[in-house]
Amino acid sequence: MDQKDWILIVELSKQKNITKTATALFVSQPSLSYRMKRIEEELAVKLFIKTSKGIEFTPEGEHLVSYATHMLETFLETKDFLQGMSDEVRGTLRIGASSNFAQYSLPKLLKGFSDLYPNVRFKVRTGWSSDVFNMLQDSTTHIGIIRSDYTWKGEKHLLNEEQFYIISNHKIDLKDLPLQPYVTYKTDVSLSNSIQSWWNDRYDEPPAIEMELDRLETCKEMVKQGLGFAIVPGISLSEEEELFKMKLSYLNGEPLVRRTWLYTDQKSIQLPIVQRFNQYCKQWFE
């Protein structure tokens, strides 16, 4: 077995599905099935069981998953260490970032860092904050830029706070909000809970949900056409957009905000490339 096999085993343990694993690894399904068969022949044990729901691992297969996970972690740690031995800042920086931050802020952040350190490459994965936190826990990223406050044993730094806004294509009054059509979008649990907490503080009745969409940008386009109002984080808004915007606060005057945190994997803190990026992030937000 080699590094490609470790990656295959670990990804298959996550997906539990040959088709999804093949897609994630950019290989064909037949070649993936062939390699799985060859691994079983090489080790002379049954590792995989095909079921109606996908793939299950035998006890021997579960042990192999643990081995492959350990070998991948060890390889990545060794690679990071070797690249960090040079005085020059170089190597691959593995970053996990929440989807909204990745869309609105991350490209400019990475461009600025790349201009300073042209020999740095990036491996970026995005998702909801809970997904990125899981990446950190699995040690598949050096750094997580997360819009939720988790308990964390590694380094953690508050990058910024941003205001929540009501947006509409015309002026609206807060007291009339329960009667207005509400356009929502899929997001992570922490953001949904923040919005729900604010609404419950203000109103006794539920919002009149008109649309439930899968993307924030689609939601904004619906609002621009006068099809309802939405509650969005400030990161998604620009001065050029002709929208009515109102900052939100609780009845006690406390503003409704969302915080963006920089998390660093405990094993990665000493790497020069990680130290420089953390320093750059903090300065960039200041």
CATH classification (class only), 88-159+259-285: alpha beta
CA-nearest of 44, 43, 48 to 59 is 48
| Residue extents of the structural domains in the chain | 3-81, 88-159+259-285, 162-258
**High-pLDDT (> 70) share of the chain, %:** 97
pLDDT at 87 > cutoff 70: no
pLDDT at 230 > cutoff 70: yes
In the block, tokens 């950019």 appear at: 26
279-282-285 Cα angle (round to 5): 145
CA-nearest of 87, 45, 79, 91 to 64 is 45
- Segment 164-180, tens digit of pLDDT: 999 999 999 999 999 99
Question: With respect to CATH, is domain 162-258 assigned 3.40.190.290?
Answer: yes
| Model pLDDT, residue 96 | 95
Average pLDDT on 128-134 reads 92
| Model pLDDT, residue 52 | 81
Average pLDDT on 22-42 reads 89
Confidence of residue 86 (pLDDT cuts 50, 70, 90): low
Instruction: Please check whether the two domains, 88-159+259-285 and 162-258, share a CATH topology.
Output: yes
Confidence of residue 84 (pLDDT cuts 50, 70, 90): low
CA-nearest of 257, 264, 273 to 121 is 273
- Segment 231-286, tens digit of pLDDT: 999 999 988 888 999 999 999 999 999 999 999 988 888 888 898 999 999 999 98
Contacts of 188 (CB under 8 A, 6+ apart): 98, 128, 129, 130, 147, 148
Q: Which two tokens stand for residue 164?
A: 């929540």
State whether the Cα torsion 231-232-234-238 is positive or negative: negative
- Segment 183-194, tens digit of pLDDT: 999 998 888 999
Pick the CATH number of 3-81 from 3.40.50.300, 1.10.10.10, 1.10.1740.10, 3.30.70.20: 1.10.10.10
* Phi, psi dihedral angles at 124 (to 5 degrees): -115, 135
Q: Which two tokens stand for residue 191?
A: 């953001």
| Model pLDDT, residue 85 | 57
